[in-house]
Structure 1
Amino acid sequence: MKTLVKWTVQDYHQMIKSGILIKRNCELINGEIVEMSPELPHHYNTAKKSVNYLENLLQGKADVRFNGPITLSNSEPEPDIAIVKPPESKYDLHHPYPEDILWLIEVANSSLNKDLSWKKKIYAEAQISEYWVISLPAQELIVFRQPEKDNYLQEISWQKPVINTLAFPDVDIIVSKLFKS
């Protein structure tokens, strides 16, 4: 039986600083360094346009981060979009921690299974209150809320034209604007 070496977030940061991971598109997930899938143009453009839309909508209320790391207890994933508490300067010395995160969004094309399984699990374990998956193949928004242990108690395939987040119940987000190409 094989025993894998589990890396800490500190180990991972040391590898980055030392240059071991240069030109490697990877993230730390549950103590393992995992290669990230390359992004196709449709995925990248959907994420970028969603970021622009949310930045305008949440201006002065939240920092909307694009393809940046977040630091969890034994993982440092890079969600497509992280909506975090301001000010942006708060993250000059560290990536956002779970208590900084308002909600996360993954844009899924080839990564759909990963985003609905182990990404969902680590976000629930970190008590991220809200997690969205924008499924490009199905043109569907899947919303996860109420984390408990390693899962979310609420999973909704969002059918309405407008959604309100737990963090900003007074802000109307037009779902179709997240899918515009």
Structure 2
Amino acid sequence: MVEKAMTVTTYKWTIERYHRAIEAGIFDDQPIELLRGDLIVMPPEREPHAYYNTEAADYLRTLLGERAKIRDAKPITLPNNSEPVPDVAIVKPLGEVYLEHHPYPEDIFWIIEFSKSTLSKDLGDKKDIYAEAGIAEYWVVNLKNSQLQVFRDLKNGQYTTELTLTTGTIVPLAFGDVSVQVNRLVGFPKI
């Protein structure tokens, strides 16, 4: 008797089906995000992550004022059947437009993820998804090593520049007149 190999097929979600499932209450408020059509359960947020995320968002609000909207832990909608929930998304201040849809790539100045337990996902899949979608700049605050990893300069759907910073300042691509103090993001004491 010849055994047949079983093929495993996974169900790929579209943005539209995902939104319908959310509206129907299918996920019971389970913290999930959609990455390339796959549902990803988000891990519980620990205290350091919550602290640095909140402090960074408040700091960026002070730096950017009305020039940008700082959305922390809110979804963004990307064309590759992804609706991730970045820790901080710095977006165009479009007001009530966001009643109709989450920010699209063209609405996003840059994204920041604070990462310890999800570091490999944030430096792998999420970085690739953001680059493919055309997000101009992506920052990962590596809470394991107290460093900021900056990805920018898109070419063919990939970031071509990576910077790793532990001190000093960084100027976001979208705001050439704004200097962000790295120590305000990575947790070093203020000087």
TM-score calculated relative to the size of structure 1: 0.96
Task: Give the 3-state SS of the residue equivalent to 1:15 in structure 2.
Answer: helix
Distance 2:185 2:165 in 1: 12
Shift of 1:65: 0.4
Distance 2:73 2:22 in 1: 17
Check if 1:2 corresponds to 2:25: no
Asked if the contact 2:128/2:158 (under 8 Å) is kept, the reply is yes
Check if 1:47 corresponds to 2:53: yes
Task: Give the 3-state SS of the residue equivalent to 1:96 in structure 2.
Answer: coil
Shift of 1:38: 1.2
For 1:11, the equivalent position in structure 2 comes to: 17
Name stretches of at least 5 consecutive residues in structure 2 with no aligned partner: 1-6
Task: Give the 3-state SS of the residue equivalent to 1:59 in structure 2.
Answer: helix
Task: Give the 3-state SS of the residue equivalent to 1:20 in structure 2.
Answer: coil
Check if 1:116 corresponds to 2:120: no
Asked if the contact 2:148/2:186 (under 8 Å) is kept, the reply is no
Larger Rg: 2
Distance 1:76 1:148 in 2: 22
* Cα deviation code 1:106-142 (max 9, x no counterpart): 0001011010000000000001000000001100000
For 1:127, the equivalent position in structure 2 comes to: 134
Task: Give the 3-state SS of the residue equivalent to 2:62 in structure 1.
Answer: helix
Shift of 1:20: 0.2
Amino acid at match of 1:6: K
For 2:113, the equivalent position in structure 1 comes to: 106
Shift of 1:93: 1.2
* Cα deviation code 1:11-41 (max 9, x no counterpart): 0000000000123110000011111111111
Amino acid at match of 2:108: I
Q: Which has the higher contact order (CA 8 A, sep 6+)?
A: 1
* Cα deviation code 1:75-115 (max 9, x no counterpart): 00000000001133221111000000000000001011010
Check if 1:146 corresponds to 2:164: no
* More displaced stretch, 144-153 vs 104-113: 144-153
Corresponding pairs, count: 181
5 Å matches for 1:61-80? 61-73=67-79, 74-80=81-87
Give the percent of matched residue pairs that are identical in Structure 1 and Structure 2.
45
Asked if the contact 1:125/1:148 (under 8 Å) is kept, the reply is no
Asked if the contact 1:67/1:79 (under 8 Å) is kept, the reply is yes
Once superposed, what is the RMSD of the aligned Cα atoms?
1.2
* More displaced stretch, 127-136 vs 22-31: 22-31
Distance 1:28 1:150 in 2: 19
* Cα deviation code 1:25-71 (max 9, x no counterpart): 10000011111111111001100100000001100110000000000
